[in-house]
């Protein structure tokens, strides 16, 4: 193809309240543009399902970003489901102007309808399920999802040029409703931040009241039941009783379920962990970078993660990780010796944390391993090159 590849990226929302898997397109789109593609991102102004105001963004117009364009559309009707008649109307009118569409999320009405429009207009499209085909996820609202899946998503899956999974494990367990698909396994990318230096890390520790010889354990993710805090907190309480010193930094929020967030905060404040825990709420920018680079351990005991973007961010910052075997990049962690992997039990997670706390030299080595692995495998540049080659193969 002599001209630039024209690519549509379609995602229901890029608001941070929906987490990293949705926001990843903000790294993916400019990386594709840097490879010479013309990229247009279609999304809505959805900003939460429980009363939050919509994103304050210009609507129905092209906004130039880092080498690509983004178009926001009003989320209406059915705001709770991130639906947008405007987005779908625009897509129906302009689909013929593009070479391929990459649609993020299944079981989301706007994504499902976008795939249907692409199918009807013979625009090749790739689907990224975001973990929605995992049997555990399909158990939620099981009957409704089965009906929706067979009636709507099955035809979309059957006509897709490919399915984009972010880990081998996600691809392995996904239920495709009996459809045979072409599968791509390509991870999500992360951007490496400039090192903040020992002086800045020391200042952060002083600000948090953490001595230089006290291990900093960082949890940085959405405060949600699936993230395994009911495993992490009892495990740390047990290690505290054993006399292990550490400081836990719990960084995150959940605007979608503020009651659960408040429940976790109250649980921490009423427990023995109160004296060695810092609750920061949501962090971003320099504060996020500083915490990741200052962490001696990054923890994520999730019951399910189709990738685990927060884990990749910690790795590229040089933090060894302690994760559950339900975070689907765990084989890469184990193989590269970038941290410790445990099953989803309190006892197993306690043991993994105990091993990490008892071996400071091993922590440092696994942190170095993590950074080397993430730099090589989770760079947006490398992922974009691989994706461009995959698009070209389809076309």
77: pLDDT confidence band, cut at 50, 70 and 90? confident
The mean predicted confidence, pLDDT, of the chain is: 94
Per cent of the chain over pLDDT 70 is: 99
pLDDT at 246 over 60: yes
Q: Tens digits of per-residue pLDDT, 250-281? A: 999 998 889 999 999 999 999 999 999 999 99
**153 shares its domain with 262:** no
pLDDT of the residue at 220 = 97
**173 shares its domain with 227:** no
* Cα atoms found within 13 Å of the Cα of residue 56, Cβ hemisphere only: 0
1: pLDDT confidence band, cut at 50, 70 and 90? low
319: domain CATH number is 3.40.50.2000
Domain of 286 in residue numbering reads as 197-377
**63 shares its domain with 158:** yes
**148 shares its domain with 226:** no
Mean pLDDT of 51-65: 92
Task: Let me know if residue 47 belongs to a domain.
Answer: yes
How big is the CA angle at 295 (ends 218 and 204), to the nearest 5 degrees? 105
Task: Let me know if residue 363 belongs to a domain.
Answer: yes
pLDDT of the residue at 2 = 65
Mean pLDDT of 53-69: 94
pLDDT of the residue at 17 = 83
- Tell me how far apart the alpha carbons of residues 208 and 244 are, in angstroms, rounded to a whole number: 19
Task: Let me know if residue 132 belongs to a domain.
Answer: yes
**215 shares its domain with 116:** no
**154 shares its domain with 230:** no
pLDDT at 378 over 70: yes
Q: Which residues of 178-193 are buried (b: 16+ CB within 10 A; e: fewer)?
A: eeebeebebbbbbebb
- DSSP state letters, 188-240: --BPPPPP-HHHHHHHHHHHHT--TTS-EEEEES---GGG-HHHHHHHHHHHH
**231 shares its domain with 176:** no
pLDDT of the residue at 30 = 96
Task: Let me know if residue 288 belongs to a domain.
Answer: yes
227: pLDDT confidence band, cut at 50, 70 and 90? very high
**346 shares its domain with 202:** yes
Mean pLDDT of 177-192: 92
Phi, psi for residue 188 in degrees, rounded to 5: -85, 160
- Tell me how far apart the alpha carbons of residues 40 and 8 are, in angstroms, rounded to a whole number: 5
CA distances from 44 to 19, 88, 95, 188, 332 (A): 15, 11, 17, 22, 34
Q: Tens digits of per-residue pLDDT, 334-371? A: 999 999 999 999 999 999 999 999 999 999 999 999 99
**263 shares its domain with 371:** yes
Q: Which residue bears the tokens 């047990």?
A: 238
pLDDT of the residue at 26 = 92
Split into its structural domains, the chain has a count of 2
pLDDT at 73 over 80: yes
- Tell me how far apart the alpha carbons of residues 361 and 271 are, in angstroms, rounded to a whole number: 30
Task: Let me know if residue 283 belongs to a domain.
Answer: yes
**390 shares its domain with 313:** no
**65 shares its domain with 169:** yes
- Tell me how far apart the alpha carbons of residues 235 and 93 are, in angstroms, rounded to a whole number: 55
**177 shares its domain with 271:** no
Task: Let me know if residue 1 belongs to a domain.
Answer: no
Write down the pTM of the prediction.
Answer: 0.90
């Amino acid at each position: 193809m002599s001209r630039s590849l024209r690519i549509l990226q379609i995602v229901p929302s890029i608001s941070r309240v929906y987490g990293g898997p949705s926001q990843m397109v903000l790294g993916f789109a400019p990386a594709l543009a840097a490879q010479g593609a013309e990229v247009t991102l279609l999304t809505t102004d959805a900003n939460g399902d429980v009363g939050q105001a919509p994103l304050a963004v210009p609507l129905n117009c092209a906004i130039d970003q880092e080498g690509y364009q983004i178009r926001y559309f009003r989320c209406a009707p059915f705001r709770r489901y991130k639906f947008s008649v405007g987005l779908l109307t625009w897509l129906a009118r302009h689909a013929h102007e593009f070479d391929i569409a990459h649609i993020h999320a299944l079981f989301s009405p706007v994504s499902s309808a976008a795939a249907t429009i692409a199918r009807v207009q013979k625009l090749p499209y790739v689907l990224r399920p975001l973990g929605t085909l995992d049997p555990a996820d399909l158990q939620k609202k099981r009957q409704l999802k089965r009906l929706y899946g067979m009636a709507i998503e099955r035809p979309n899956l059957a006509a897709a040029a490919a399915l984009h999974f972010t880990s081998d494990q996600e691809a392995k367990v996904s239920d495709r409703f009996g459809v045979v698909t072409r599968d791509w396994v390509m991870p999500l990318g992360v951007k490496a931040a400039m090192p903040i230096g020992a002086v800045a890390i020391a200042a952060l520790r002083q600000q948090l009241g953490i001595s230089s010889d006290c291990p900093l354990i960082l949890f940085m993710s959405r405060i949600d039941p699936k993230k395994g805090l009911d495993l992490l907190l009892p495990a740390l309480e047990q290690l505290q009783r054993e006399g292990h010193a550490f400081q836990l930094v719990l960084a995150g929020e959940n605007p979608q379920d503020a009651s659960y967030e408040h429940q976790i905060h109250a649980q921490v404040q009423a427990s023995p962990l109160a004296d060695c825990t810092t609750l920061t709420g949501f962090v971003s920018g320099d504060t996020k970078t500083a915490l990741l680079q200052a962490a001696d351990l990054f923890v994520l005991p999730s019951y399910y993660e189709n990738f685990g973007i927060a884990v990749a961010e910690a790795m590229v910052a040089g933090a060894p990780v302690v994760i559950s075997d339900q975070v689907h990049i765990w084989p890469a962690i184990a193989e590269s010796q970038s941290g410790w992997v445990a099953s989803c039990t309190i006892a197993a997670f306690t043991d993994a944390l105990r091993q990490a706390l008892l071996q400071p030299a091993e922590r440092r080595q696994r942190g170095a391993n993590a950074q080397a692995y993430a730099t090589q495998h989770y760079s947006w540049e490398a992922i974009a090159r691989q994706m461009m080659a995959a698009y070209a193969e389809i076309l």
